Structure 1
């Protein structure tokens, strides 16, 4: 008679409880934001001061209305310099910001968010709840989450 494999009573709860790592766990909540009426010179100064590559544009109700980035500022500068024109007096954020903004849900799994970064080629996603800006998730935030998971679960 052969020996049967004995592993003991199986615990049905083991492995079923996956702790979700959510966007809200890693998003940045203290943001540098801009208003549509801000000048691009102000934006450029803030981008340099805080060492960031862009930021959300909000209205007075803290509702997301756009994104302004280094690229948007550089486009304005290069266009005016290329045509040897003086800086436009109407060089406001509202004129140069991107208004078609992809957002991300605060309850999304961080690794689903990573896939969204890969497929969209974006560097950051604003996080909006009930129309209000509540945070921002960057690619660096996803990397921080990955390192923490690796440290806790992988051997």
Structure 2
């Protein structure tokens, strides 16, 4: 199996300034677990995943 056989072709993205809440809403709305993060020039500067959100949430609770 190759990556192109299982990938999503419509790429959703978030901005650096988007809230974590809006990111989680996109995860749920689109049934995805990760998104590229773009800057004001629409350049990819990172990736945010459900795992990132969960880890940070638990760190905040400790």
TM range (shorter): 0.7 to 0.9
**Cross-structure match for 1:67:** 47
Specify every segment of 5 or more residues in structure 2 that has no aligned partner in the other structure, as ranges: none
In terms of fraction of residues, the more helix-rich structure is 2
**Cross-structure match for 2:36:** 56
Alignment of 1:3-152 (within 5 A): 28-81=8-61, 83=62
For 1:60 and 1:29, how far apart are their aligned partners in 2?
23
Report deviation, 1:52: 0.3
Give the total of aligned pairs. 59
Over aligned residue pairs, what C-alpha RMSD do you find?
2.0
Specify every segment of 5 or more residues in structure 1 that has no aligned partner in the other structure, as ranges: 1-22, 84-155
Per-residue Cα deviation, 1:57-92 (whole angstroms, up to 9, x for no partner): 1123221110000011001111122x2xxxxxxxxx
Note closer, same or farther for the CA distance 1:51–1:33 as it changes in structure 2 (3 Å cut).
Answer: same
Point out the structure with max Rg over C-alpha.
Answer: 1
Normalising by structure 1, report the TM-score: 0.34
Report deviation, 1:54: 0.5
Normalising by structure 2, report the TM-score: 0.77
Note closer, same or farther for the CA distance 1:60–1:30 as it changes in structure 2 (3 Å cut).
Answer: farther
